[in-house]
Amino acid sequence: MGETTTYAGRYVPGLQHGGERTELSCTTTTPNGGTSHVVLASGPRVVLDWETTADKATIAAAVLRHWLTRQSDPDELHDFLDQLTTDWATGTAWEITGQQLRAAGFVP
């Protein structure tokens, strides 16, 4: 089995004032079982969330920038939103795998 990559959005308890924070991360597992975990973005829900299409576009741009190792173009961003974020719901964590990204046509 090859390397696996999973991007995830989740809510975590706030550190200072008890409010929720949002975290966007990438976890990669190598064939030998090694794992790396990178937080790509984190912030209060009022700044970073996936409630609106604009919010989802911000998250999508960050995922694509990391996955493709370059800035995405508007068509790629639109395709990502249409194909991969339709089941994202406010207040609910989500995951997207590298396999899903490849199947949607995003090849690093």
Tokens of 73: 């173009």
Average pLDDT, the chain: 91
Per-residue model confidence (pLDDT) at position 37? 96
The answer to whether 64 and 30 are in contact (CB under 8 A) is no
**How many percent of the chain have pLDDT more than 70?**
94
For residue range 27-60, list pLDDT tens digits in order: 999 999 899 999 999 888 878 889 889 999 999 9
Average pLDDT for 57-64? 96
The answer to whether 66 and 26 are in contact (CB under 8 A) is yes
d(CA 48, CA 63): 13
Reply yes or no on whether the pLDDT at 24 is more than 80: yes
Per-residue model confidence (pLDDT) at position 16? 65
Reply yes or no on whether the pLDDT at 1 is more than 80: no
The answer to whether 59 and 26 are in contact (CB under 8 A) is no
The answer to whether 29 and 47 are in contact (CB under 8 A) is no
